[in-house]
Amino acid sequence: MRTKLFVLLLVVSLGAVPLLLAQEAEHVWTVSELFTRNIGTQQEQRTQFPPHRIIGNLYYVGTQSLSSFVVDTPAGDILIDSTYEVNVPVIQDSMSKLGLKFSNIKIILGSHAHGDHQEADAMVAEMTGAKVMALAEDIPDLQRMRTPSGKPRPMYQVLHDGDEVKLGGMTLVAHLTPGHTHGCTTWTMKVQEAGDTHNVVIIGSMGVNTGTRLWANGALTPVGEEYARGFKAMHTLAGDVPLGSHPAMHGLAEKYKKLSGSGLGIWSGALFVPNPYIDPTGYLKELKIEETAFNMELENQKKAPPAAAPAPGGRRGQ
């Protein structure tokens, strides 16, 4: 009798798993929820996340809620997202713990022209002598950015959609995915791991800045049109190692827990556990989350009374 009862409970439990997963998958994130998920608290923005190798020669050196990535090459390193100036010591310490030299940074790239992602560009460039590059559409906002240190903004080398940034055998491709900012950039690259080639996609962001008018006078606003172009561009991309300008965009905390000390797949008993960052469905999942939030916000604005003076943008910082 006990055996039958145990089997019944096991069957019921296993049957509940797909239901629970379906319920989780059906959650529709709002613009406000995504902002909160991504931005985190001030403490999370400034607290070091354990530095580690993600895959191949790609490393995480950011905080709990602001991503910073380093691509290590024989000719020097590429830093993606300097974040806030106050976080520069975090990046320095993280690189040191990984055996990487902060002074070896040769190129600084960014995801988009918000202070939480690119405020420290000038500081890092001054400390390392690195070149700083950005898409043309974001450079005006980057140049207007003001920082606690008061350092003048760096001279950005102008990039355009589809341009390649090469260093030490690595090639990073810049993809214009506008909306969140005019020049929001999604980066792609190929990395090698255990003899296999993997496609990395680092999402800039397609989150709608809170308060942004997407629809006015019966049509998409200029910013709304940018988002439409951005999502169209996002759908042309693919990758099996999805990352984002905020850790929550790629489940950093959960994946890190599963990661071995070496960053490679590991043997656990008789099972081989692959690198958790290899997540073929993760990119499309995050894209769907952000696009659904956009579409929901767009529909809400279509139904709402017309605003007296639509703002070109809203709360920023994702």
pLDDT 10s digits, 17-32: 454 444 455 788 999 9
Q: What is the pTM of this model?
A: 0.86
Measured distance CA(113)–CA(252) in Å, rounded: 23
- Residues 209, 181: contact at Cβ < 8 Å? no
Q: Residue 178 — pLDDT band, cuts 50, 70, 90?
A: very high
**Residues for the chain: how many in total?**
318
Q: What pLDDT is recorded for position 13?
A: 44
Q: What pLDDT is recorded for position 318?
A: 62
- Residues 115, 126: contact at Cβ < 8 Å? no
Question: Which percentage of the chain shows pLDDT scores above 90?
Answer: 80
- Residues 54, 231: contact at Cβ < 8 Å? no
For the stretch 59-88, pLDDT in tens is 999 999 999 999 999 999 999 999 999 999
- What Cα–Cα distance (Å) separates residue 36 from each residue in 184, 217, 305? 20, 30, 26
Measured distance CA(37)–CA(244) in Å, rounded: 13
Does the 29-303 domain belong in CATH 2.20.28.270?
Answer: no
What average pLDDT does range 43-53 have in this prediction? 97
Q: Residue 243 — pLDDT band, cuts 50, 70, 90?
A: very high
Measured distance CA(164)–CA(237) in Å, rounded: 15
Mean pLDDT of the chain: 89
